[in-house]
Amino acid sequence: MESVVLVMMIVVCFNYILKQTWRKPWFVALSAAVCGLFVGLMWPWAIEQSKNRIAGWLADTSLMLDLAVVLTLEVALQIAFCIVAAHIHTAGRVKPSVVWAYRLLRWFPGLLIFPVLFSVLVAAIFALPGVSFPLTAWSLAAVVAVAIPLGRWALKRLLPEKEIRLEVLFLSNALIAVLGVVATVNGRTAVAGNTAVDWEALGGVTALVAAGLLLGTAAFRMKSKRMNKKLK
C-alpha cells in the first residue's frame, strides 16, 4: 500500500509541473509561491503527525473512499482538459463555449499537490530530528518554490511539442486513476473470487464483441463509399 501511495505522489508532482507548461510565467511564479507558502506555514500541523497516525489513515476505509472521490474528480478534470485541448488543436474552428471550457480547465492547477506537499513536509521533519521545525519547513518551501519553475522549464525543453506533452499528461492521469483504484480498495473485494470459467457467458460476450466489430466495419465501409461518390 505504501509503495502504491508513493508512486501516486510522484506522478501527482509530475502532473502538476507538466500542467504548468500550458501557463504563462507569471502564473507559474504565483503557483510556486503559493505552494512554497503552504509548505512553510503548515509546519505546526505537520509536527503533530506521526507514522502510526499516517498508517492509520491509510488503513481507514472511509477516509480512503473519500480520497477516491477527490482523486476521481481531479483526474476527470485533467483528462477533460486533454480531450478539449486535442479537440481544439484538431477541429480548427470551434464553438466559444469550448474555448471557455478549455481556458477554465487550463487554469485549474490541481488540488492533490497540497496533500502531497504536506506528506513531504512530514517526511522531512521525521528525517531531520533535532533541526528547528520552522527552519526545515521554510527550507523545504524554498526548494519547492524553485523546483516548480525549474521543472516546468526542463519539461518544456525535453518535450517542446504540445501534442506530446498533452498525450503524456493524459496517460499519467490515467495511471493515477488506476493506482487510485488499487490504493483506495485497500485489499477489499466486492465479491469472492471464483476460479471456474462460465463458458456460456464468455461465449456471449465474445459473440457481442464480434457482432459489434462486424457492424462497425460494415458501417465504416458504407460511409467510405458514400464519401467517395460525393467526391467523384
183-225 confidence digits (pLDDT tens):
665 545 444 555 566 778 778 888 888 888 888 888 888 888 8
The mean pLDDT value of the chain amounts to: 81
Distance between CA atoms of 107 and 123, rounded to whole angstroms? 30
pTM over 0.75, yes/no: no
Helices (H), the chain: 2-19, 25-41, 43-46, 51-59, 61-91, 96-107, 113-127, 133-158, 162-185, 199-231
With 70 as the cut, is the pLDDT of residue 11 above it?
A: yes
Among 13, 32, 21, 24, smallest CA distance to 172 is for 13
- In three-state secondary structure terms, 22 is helix
Summarised one tens digit per residue, pLDDT across range 56-110 is 666 666 666 667 777 888 888 888 888 888 888 777 677 888 888 888 888 887 8
What does the domain layout of the chain look like in residue ranges?
A: 2-185, 198-232
